[in-house]
Amino acid sequence: MPLRSVVERVILTIKTLLSSVALVPYRRDAFQRELDAIRQWYNHHRGHTTLGGRTPDEVCNGCYPANRKPRFEPRSRWPRGSPCARPWALVRGSPGAKLTLEVTFHAGRKHLPIVRLKRVA
C-alpha cells in the first residue's frame, strides 16, 4: 500500500476517534493529551490490516506478534490441527475453552477500547 494511502488512513482514523468524543478539548494542552492517548492506543493496541494484523509497536520493536501466539478455541469438536483464520496460530490448551470477553479502555477513554478474551476458570 502506498505511503500516501497509509497516512490518509491514519488521519481518517484520528478524525473518526475525535468525532466520537463527547466534547473535543479546545485548550491546546488538553487537545495534545487526547492526541497522545489516541497515538498510544493506535500504535500499541490496535492491529493493522496493512501490517498483517500486527500493531505498529510490534513491527517497530521486532516483537513476536500477539495475533500469532497460541489462541483459545471455543469449539469443542474443532480438530486441533485445523487451520484458523489468517494468520494461522496454534490452539492454546484443548478445544472447547469457555471464554469471557473483557473490555477495558485506554487511559479511561470510552472511544479507545482494549478487547481481550480470557478463559473462564
Q: What is the pLDDT of residue 50?
A: 86
Residue 55 binned pLDDT confidence (cut-offs 50, 70, 90): very high
Report the alpha-carbon distance of residue 23 to residue 37 in Å, rounded: 15
**In this predicted model, which residue has the larger pLDDT, 35 or 80?**
35
Q: Which domain holds residue 98?
A: 3-119
pLDDT for the residue 1: 65
Amino acid of residue 62: G
Over the stretch 74-117, which tens digit does the pLDDT of each residue have? 999 988 777 777 788 888 888 899 999 999 999 999 999 999 99
Give the count of domains, the chain.
1
Report the pLDDT value the prediction gives residue 21, as an integer from 0 to 100.
83
Is the Cβ–Cβ distance between 67 and 90 less than 8 Å?
A: no
**pLDDT of 1-10, one tens digit each?**
688 888 998 8
d(CA 116, CA 98): 14
Q: Which amino acid is at 119?
A: R
